[in-house]
């Protein structure tokens, strides 16, 4: 079974631009979560989507948004990029039987490294 894939793997943008990152979950997984990883703040939860609906949200400004498609693929968008948005963005998928369920193991993709100049 193929793992979680993220595209692109590397991205360079300038301040003020916007960016869209893509995540394809493991086949059959309906939940996709996004995390931001920086040296200063560590791993921080951005949001989670399940069946095309945002189920959980972390403490990030509205410039960070996401969506999920009917095939469970997910995109994350960051508008008006700032230097501090430079980070590794990780996507994780899990198999959830119902919308609110007990823990299901999360499988992580390799990440997209975003550099903002």
Contact region with another protein (CB under 8 A), list: 14-22, 44-52, 61-69, 71-79: 44-52
Q: Give the integer Cα–Cα distance in Å for 87 and 99.
A: 29
Strand 64-68 and strand 74-78: the pairing is: antiparallel
Query: Using an 8 Å Cβ cutoff, are 70 and 117 in contact?
Result: no
Report, in Å, the least distance between residue 96 CB and another protein: 7
Residues binding another protein: number (CB under 8 A): 30
Sheet holding 5-7, edge to edge: 5-7, 19-24, 74-78, 64-68
Q: Of these, 45, 60, 73, 79, which contacts another protein (CB under 8 A)?
A: 45
**By the criterion CB under 8 A, which residues form the site for another protein?**
4, 31, 33, 35, 42-43, 45, 48, 50, 55-56, 58, 90, 92, 94, 96, 99-111, 113
């Amino acid at each position: 079974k193929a793992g979680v894939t993220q595209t692109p793997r590397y991205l360079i943008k300038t301040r003020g631009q916007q960016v869209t990152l893509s995540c394809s979950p493991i086949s059959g997984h309906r939940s996709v979560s996004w995390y931001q990883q920086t040296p200063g703040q560590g791993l921080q939860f951005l949001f989670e989507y399940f069946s095309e609906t945002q189920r959980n949200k972390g403490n990030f400004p509205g410039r960070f948004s996401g969506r999920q498609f009917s095939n469970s693929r997910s995109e994350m968008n960051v508008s008006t990029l700032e230097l501090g948005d430079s980070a590794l963005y990780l996507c994780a998928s899990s198999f959830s039987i119902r919308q609110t369920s007990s823990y299901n193991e999360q499988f992580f993709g390799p990440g997209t490294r975003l550099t903002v100049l």
